Every structure is written in structure tokens, then in C-alpha cells.
Structure 1
Amino acid sequence: MNQSPMRFIRQDIQSMHAYAIQDSTGLIKLDAMENPFALPAELQSELGARLGALAINRYPGSRIDDLKKALGEYIDLPAGTSLMLGNGSDELISLLAMTCDVPGASILAPLPGFVMYAMGAQLQGLAFHGVPLTADFELDEAAMLATMGEHQPAITYIAYPNNPTANLWDAAVIRRLIAEAATYGGLVVMDEAYQPFSSRSWLDEIRAHPLANANVLLMRTLSKFGLAGVRLGYMVGPQALVHEVDKLRPPYNVSVLNAECALFALEHAQVFARQAAHICEQREVLIDALGKMPGVTAYPSDANMVLTRVPDAQRCFDGLKADSILVKNVSKMHPLLGECLRLTVGTPAENAQLIHSLQKHL
């Protein structure tokens, strides 16, 4: 008898759940930390003409180098570092796990945090060590240092700011964690996915103290910049380290369409900067309104989302959805997130509808 080919599919993969994306058809979409503002009409036409003129019958060529150069200029790439591109930050996370897959290697990250850190470890067959945050969503320095001392993880992820808690952590604590990782040759990856909305960037630390950050890689994405549909991430770090990770990057991992969209966006960076500033203003409006609701706690945010604790997360989630508003119910993700919703900051009109609906369903 023929045997099922499932016998060759790893058992841990068969036991996994695929990354879930909520159906947002017909709903105000406030669940995925996307920039709610579309490209202005005149820029849509201009971008369309540029994309239409691309040689899509050819593999990506020197235009990818043009994008790397433009990104380097945009962020003022620190001396002694280089930059590589990924198909979103998710690909970079996978490549990092693959790069560091040596016997006994593991990955560490605070919890709750971005789920792809643990998934990247699991898919590569590496151990994952999750260290819970404190009750007020700060890094538990003692627990982090103890875990690093015991397991010497190859990679320690620090999201700056964190998802889903949206806060920046104490820079002094992060410096000590970086120093601890350096004692055994571990990498620290600073994930700045929400940098357009953040009051601080670790890139400034890298510029000011390059030797102290010689084991640090910094990841960013253009998703929150306003190009979530383009799928483009990038990573910055010491040239020797980035060179090794870049060896594993699939050829032509960034399409000519993605690259041209990103170049176009960087040429019009002021448009996206104004959008980010508007989102930050609306974030404060949303936090202020949430703070006036009985039984509701809105946590400080340096991202384009607000973690909010409500009396009954499922009831509020269902009520909002009945009013055609989709948010993220994170209350089951981790014990620290009990009765919490993650609210993406939307347009003024979307935020007003969110506030009105949430008041109704508390």
C-alpha cells in the first residue's frame, strides 16, 4: 500500500497553527497596526506610471542597490555598518535563525512579544526562551540576565517599542543586556518596526557607542511607514555580521515592484512623515478618551497602537465587531494581557467611531 507523504512532514509543523489573519471585509480595520492613510491621488498616478514602465520580464538588478543606497541615506547609515533587505522583517527573522543554527543554539525574547521570534526559532529547530515582562510591562532585568547566563542564547530580541504593549523599555537595562550578550558572543537584535511613531531610536546609540553595540543588529520595516502591502524590511549592523546573514538571503528576494514602491516612498518621505505625525496626534486623542472611560486602562504608547485593558475583552471585541470595527483581542495571548485589546490608531473619523462604540459596549 502507498504511504501518506505526511510521514515526511515534521510533526511539530503538523501540530502548529498557521499565522491567523482576521477577515476584515466591510469592517473598519484597526487590528494590524497599518497606516490608515492612502497614498494621495496625484502620487498614485505618478507611482502607477513608474511601475508600469518597469521591466517586469527581467530579474531585479541594480535598482535594488539604488534602494539600499537610498535607505542608507534616509537613516544616515552609521559608519562601519551595512544594510541588507528582506521581504518584510519576517524573512529577516527567519534568516537570522538559520544563520545562528549551530548545535545548542537558542533564541530569547521577552513575553508578551512578537510571535515570529518564537516561530522563527521553532521552524529552525532552535530552543526558544521566553522571559515574562513585569506586571507593568517592563523588562525583568534579573530574569533576562539569569536566562542569558544559563542558556547563552545566540539571539536576544528586543522590540523597541514592543508589540503588543507599545512601550519603550529602559535604555540602561538594554545596555546591560547587550553587554551581557557580548560576554559570550551573543547577538542582540533591536526590532524597530514602529520607529516612525517612536520618541527614541537605538540607531542613535549605535552611532554614539559603536563598540558597545558591536554585537547589535537593528531591524526596521517599511510596513508601518505606510507600505504594509509592499513587504519590505531591512537590517543594519556591523559589516562583518550583516555580510554573513546576507549569504542566506534568497536571490531576488525583493521584487522590482517592491523596490520601486519603496524608492518612490523615500522620494516622498515628507508625505509619510506628515501622516506619522498625524497618527501620533490621534494616538494622544485616543489615549485621552480611553482614560476617561470607567474601568478602562490605556497604557502609554510609542507606536501606532494602544494596549487597552477593559472589564470584558471578549464582550468589547464582539460589540466592536458588531459595529463594523475590527480590533485585536490579545487577552488570551499571555497571562499579563488578561482582558486586553490592542487598538490600532486610525483616522480621526475611525477613532471617533471606535471611541463611541467602545463606550457603548463597556
Structure 2
Amino acid sequence: MSLPIRPAVQASPDYPFSAIEAPVKLDQNESFADFPAELKAIALERLRELPWHRYTDLHAEALCDAVARHDGWAASGTVVTTGSNVLIALLVQLAGMGARVLTVKPNFALYGLDARLLGAALTEVPLHTNLGTDVDALIAALDEAPARGVVFVARPHAPTGSLCGLDDLERLARACQDGWLLVIDEAYHHFTAHDARELARRHPHVVLLRTFSKAWGLAGLRLGYALAGDEVARQLRKLVPPFGVSVLQTVCALVALERPGYLRERVAHTLRERERVFQVLQTHPTWQVMPSHANFLLVRTPDAAQAHAALLAQGVLVRRQDRLHGLEGCLRMTIGTAAENDTFLRTAGLSP
């Protein structure tokens, strides 16, 4: 029996992740702490008072308004969905289907996976040898074929933690003005000093992606959003499923946005711990740690498989990245609590 499944879907690999249990979980770049208990209580009380038999907002309008106020953006240009990963696929549908997707490698796997699944021609430009984004090569690749489409650039970059300069992004945005949508993925923007909002305000073809899954500590909630110009946002909403953001998601995110003090405290903790762990890792006799602008560190080891297994045997789970282009021997560790980070360092043979 032949199933009516498109060849592009059949040829696509599964998403590259296998769940592993461990006492110290530092493999998915989640927040080191759960949503505060007092905020959970407020959200649960609100949920008790709301009707669950009615549909929520068509396009999460109340949540879009709150996000826009918090981020200093126009509500008309704010699009909320169930995760920024959903927006990646929608943006490929918006501008890349039957056209092109241009990004770097290595990168977040979904840029390439969604391009292939949706029939876009994919071009991946290698990072510099220093693991930075090669903007000159990206600009050169824009004109390799007549088709236009979507450019994805993560800032900070994952999985390396490197940061593309805003001046370089300005050059890329100008080069993309003729028929390209430039998407800057800011999933980790809280851990940097500057974001790309001003650039996006100057260029209506630039879209920013953000998420509640990292610094906000709400990965289990599955919420992300785009900040865009009004026309791009209006067209993007046509692809967003109606009533897609649940009342549970809406209420919890609204409570977080009303009381963002915990977010600032957790970002400050992450920055302190990132620097501390970085300094200690620099003393490792055989590992090389890379500077990072995100909530994780990339470490090059002589043997990633051996290092990963040795850490896991002692209850510490990190993420192997050695199968990615240019990242031979690399592991990625999320910045956790101080105690979790100490356990990681001791397991790596270092004194915290």
C-alpha cells in the first residue's frame, strides 16, 4: 500500500533529540528555575474564574498587547503563537515555499528542517573558523539564484553562543531589501546587552523572533512571538491557526509580563554563573571553552562521546554537538543553578 505522503516529508529526518533522564539536566538551554510559585498561584486563581467552554482570543490579542507594551513594540506588529518554532515554519510558508531559505551552519535545526519539509531551496553558509556569523558570505549568497525568500540569523547564535554585530546585521538587512525577509532569532536576547529592535524598526522586511521558553522560565507553556512591521505581521497572521493560543497559555504569560522582576533576577544570576563557569573551564587541561552571549557554554573536548558519557555516568546531562559542521568534539552545557554548575565542574575534574 502506498501512502500519500510527500517525498520531502518522507526524506526528512526526525528532529534530532532523544530524551535522557539525569539528576543534573543541562542539555536544553531551559531556565535554571521554575516559574515562581507565587505567580503560579495567581495564574491558577485567575484560571478558576475564567470560562473554559469559550474560545479564547482569535489571535491572542490581549497577550499581543501585553507583549507589545513590555517589549516597546506596536501591538499591530506583534504575532504570538504556540512557540517560536511554529513561527519558523510559518515564516517559511510566508516567503520561502517554492523559493529559498538562507542561513548558516551549524544552526538551530528547524531552519533547515522546515525549509526541506516545505519545499524551499536551502543554502547554508558555514560559520567563520572563530564560530562567528560570516555576513559577507551570506550577502554573497543572496544573489546565487534569482529566487528570493527567507534569511534566518540567530542572535545570539545557537549552539555556539557567538554574537553577530549590529553593524553587520545592518549591512545584511540592506542587502536583503530586494525581495528577502530577514528573520533575526532572538531566543537568547535577554543575555546580551543590546537587541535588534531599532534595526527592525528601520527595515520593514526584518522580523524578530522571541520566546518565553528561555529567560522567562516557561518552556513547558510553549509560547513564542514575532515582532514585525505592520504589513508583514498582517500577512503572517493569515497563516496562524485561529484561536491557537489557549486560555492557560494566555493567563500564565500575562501574569509573567505583569511581574517581570523575577526575570531580571534570573538573567543576572545566569550572567554571573556563565562568567564564573567560563573562568573555571578555562583552566581545564584539555577542554576549550568558547565565549558565550547566551545561557549556555560550548566546550570543545578531545572526544565528545567519551566526555558526554563520563559526565552522564555521574548524573550530569549535557548536549553533544560534535555531529554538527565545524563542531567536532563539542559539547554544550546550559547554565544551571550554582549547585548544578558546581557539580558539572567537579565532574569535569575541576574545582568550582
TM-score range, shorter chain: over 0.9
> Equivalents in 1 of 2:244, 2:58: separation in Å?
14
Q: Tell me which amino acid in the other structure corresponds to 2:106.
A: P
Match of 2:175 in 1: 180
TM-score when normalising by structure 2: 0.94
Q: CA distance change for structure 1 residues 309 and 63 in 2, over 3 Å: closer, same or farther? A: same
Q: Tell me which amino acid in the other structure corresponds to 1:319.
A: A
Q: Tell me which amino acid in the other structure corresponds to 2:142.
A: M
Match of 1:312 in 2: 303
Tell me the CA shift for residue 78 of structure 1: 5.5
Are 1:47 and 2:43 counterparts?
yes
Match of 1:245 in 2: 236
Cα pair 2:8 2:118 within 8 Å, conserved: no
Identity of aligned residues (%): 33
Q: Which runs of 4+ in 1 moved over 6 A?
A: none
Tell me the CA shift for residue 236 of structure 1: 1.0
Q: State the SS of the aligned residue for 2:122.
A: strand
Match of 2:91 in 1: 96
Q: CA distance change for structure 1 residues 174 and 63 in 2, over 3 Å: closer, same or farther? A: closer
Could you list the runs of 5+ residues in structure 2 that have no partner in the other structure? none
Tell me the CA shift for residue 15 of structure 1: 2.9
Match of 1:159 in 2: 154
Could you list the runs of 5+ residues in structure 1 that have no partner in the other structure? none
Are 1:192 and 2:186 counterparts?
yes
2:198 counterpart (189, 198, 204)? 204
The aligned runs of 1:1-362 (5 Å cut-off) are 4-6=1-3, 8-61=4-57, 64-77=60-73, 82-101=77-96, 103=98, 105-151=99-145, 152-182=147-177, 184-207=178-201, 210=202, 213-224=203-214, 225-334=216-325, 336-359=326-349
Tell me the CA shift for residue 285 of structure 1: 1.0
1:122-157 C-alpha deviation (Å, 9 max, x unpaired):
111111100001100122233212211113541111
Q: Tell me which amino acid in the other structure corresponds to 1:220.
A: R
Tell me the CA shift for residue 101 of structure 1: 4.5
Tell me the CA shift for residue 287 of structure 1: 0.6
Q: State the SS of the aligned residue for 2:176.
A: helix
Tell me the CA shift for residue 293 of structure 1: 0.7
Cα pair 1:313 1:341 within 8 Å, conserved: yes
1:191-212 C-alpha deviation (Å, 9 max, x unpaired):
10011212220013334xx2xx
Tell me the CA shift for residue 17 of structure 1: 2.5
Is 13-22 or 343-352 further displaced after alignment?
Answer: 13-22
TM-score when normalising by structure 1: 0.91
Cα pair 1:108 1:153 within 8 Å, conserved: no
Cα pair 2:211 2:224 within 8 Å, conserved: yes
| Structure richer in helix, relative to its length | 1
Q: State the SS of the aligned residue for 1:66.
A: helix
Cα pair 2:58 2:242 within 8 Å, conserved: no
Q: State the SS of the aligned residue for 2:299.
A: strand
Cα pair 1:328 1:341 within 8 Å, conserved: yes
